[in-house]
Amino acid sequence: MRKTAAAGLAVGLIAALGFAVPASASTSDSAQLSVLHGIPDTPVDVYVNGALTLDDFQPGKLAGPLTLPAGDYEVALTAPNAADASSPILGPATITLTADGDFTAAAYLSESGQPSLKLFQNDTAATAAGQGRLTVRHVAAAPAVDVLAGGSPVIEDLTNPNEKTLDLPAGPVSASVALAGTTEPVLGPTDVQIQDGVLTIVYAWGSAEDENLALAVQTVSVAHSNPGGVPSGTAGYLAQRDTTMSFIALAGAGALAIAAAAATALAMRRRQEARR
Amino acid sequence: MRAGTPRRHGRDGLAMATLIGTVVAACLTACAPTGAGVTTPSPSPSTPAPVPPTDVVEVPVTSAAVPPPAARIAPDRLVIESIGVDMPVVDVGVEPGGQMQLPVDPAVAGWYRYGPDAAATAGHVVLAAHVDAVDYPIGPLANLRDVAVGSTIAVMAADGSTRTWVVESLTYYEKAALPTDELFAREGDPALVVITCGGPFDASTGHYRDNVVAIAKPQS
């Protein structure tokens, strides 16, 4: 599904690309923005700087990423099909996108169930070779939780609207969410794929009281690291064989030379004998 | 965001040209005494396509539901007929010290599982094997140094597919100077990279000085 944004935002995006084209390595004037809708049962229209940007945005959906010039943006959420942003159900709120940053704006429920908006910055620092990154964000109307991987807690006492981040070996993780201090899952277990060079963001959203807690997942490519080298020989047998082969070759050449010299000497002697 | 694609392409073209330049330069110095072959393919000029004028931005909207794991096509056999190589391939990762993991047995090659897979349309599929290891016979990739430019390499994969690659260059790198960021590239034109060891052996460290690296392009 694709939605069309208003022209005001478009101009900003084109300007950003205009900067980026000549200086291919530099993105210093732009930021990445995604938007997560984590308020159950409430489709919205999203206005950015007064312009309709996401029409009929559904809960559990993720929009973006959009490349935008760094700076302040005013975000407002209205009921679907509102004429404009003048009577928002959430906002208007100002979000600040800093240069080179990767952000997710989440519309979510506070611990007490109030619709809220928060801008999270995604950690895009390079991961080590063979490692991926997991960020867990608690944006559900629910008390503090623990996050379990394979049944044992890896993140403890995470409260709304906070996040925790850790780097893990790449591979599948059986993740579940339990109320803090317990191990009985309220969400999951679900297999979450930790990928080398990828930030996987898991959101716990919805409402415990309304029994619609759910997990949402966003992935962001981050800088990865390559192996430092390829140590592909440890015995030296090949080098040994090469040395032996060249010795044999040398010895062979030597033997030939001796034989040739002997033959020459013999021939000369015969000629001398013949002359006599 | 669509407008970003041509730019990326241009960068990758440049990176590939740089890589080829590096390979050529390295071969002029490092490979000359060993007689290793090298080609100088002319990289096709890649000029970024003009950014199409547009007055709308399409904002992609996707479900944030937990995605199923992406299917990866693991290579499982490496065949280089011209030099008598026919060996199984297993997937490998990274040693604690950050080096690429390798199967202990030189008769088995490792595929770097975090890089592009057997069906990759971009980036480098990296396979490597020990040239030798204590208590094992010398491995099949001991012959890699003799592979001719233009030879074919077949890589079979777990899904039953076979992909044929054509050797474009063979290069000796001193291990300390192995351009891992280029060889393990995840973007750019697809290539198969086969790595083993070679050059002089230092008995005091138990290591060869060089890596022998063959780079092959998809057969057209």
Give the ipTM. 0.72
Q: Give the domain extent around B162.
A: 4-42+73-218
Res B201 pLDDT > 60? yes
Q: What does residue B32 show for φ and ψ, rounded to 5 degrees?
A: -55, -50
Which of B 80-99 lie inside 8 A of A, CB atoms?
93-95, 97-99
Kindly state whether residue B8 falls inside one of the protein's structural domains.
yes
Consecutive H or E run containing B59: strand B58-63
Residue B143 located in a structural domain = yes
B68 falls within a domain? no
Q: Is B143 exposed, middle or buried (0-12, 13-18, 19+ CB in 10 A)?
A: middle
pLDDT over 70 for what percent of chain A?
81
For the cut 50, the answer to whether the pLDDT of residue B177 exceeds it is yes
Q: Where does the pLDDT of residue B80 fall: very low under 50, low under 70, confident under 90, or very high at 90 and above?
A: very high
Please tell me the distance in Å from B41's CA to the nearest CA on chain A.
25
Indicate the pLDDT class of residue B67, thresholds 50, 70 and 90: confident
In the predicted model, what is the mean pLDDT of residues A99-122?
A: 96
Residue B145 lies in a domain: yes
Min Cα separation A75/chain B (Å): 15
Does B92 reside within a domain? yes
**pLDDT at A218 exceeding the cut of 80:** yes
Q: Return the number of other C-beta atoms located less than 10 Å from residue A25's C-beta.
A: 7
Least confident of A21-30, A216-225, B45-54: B45-54
* CATH number where B150 lies: 2.40.260.10
**Domain-embedded: residue B80:** yes
SS (H, E, C) A2-58: EEECCHHHHHHHHHHHHHHCCCCCCCCCEEEEEEEEECCCCCEEEEECCEEEEEEEC
- What is the number of structural domains in chain B? 1
Give, in degrees to the nearest 5, the angle at Cα A110 between A107 and A112: 145
The residue-averaged pLDDT of B170-194 equals 96
Is B47 part of a structural domain of the chain?
Answer: no
Name the B residues in 129-168 with CB < 8 Å from any A CB. 129-134, 136-138, 141-142
A244 against B8, higher pLDDT: A244
In angstroms, the CA B220 to CA A74 distance is 52
Average pLDDT, chain A: 85
Q: Is the pLDDT of residue A232 over 50?
A: yes
Element (H, E) at B196: strand B191-202
Sign of CA dihedral A97, A103, A106, A112: negative
**Terminal Cα distance for chain B, rounded:** 30
Per-residue pLDDT at B29 exceeds 50: no
Three-state DSSP at B7 gives helix
pLDDT in tens, A51-100: 999 999 999 999 999 999 999 999 999 999 899 999 999 989 999 999 99
Residue to test with chain A: of B7, B47, B66, most A Cβ within 10 A: B66
Whose CA is closest to A218, among B60, B67, B186?
B67
DSSP letters, A162-197, are -EEEEEEESEEEEEEEEETT--SEEEEEEEEEE-TT
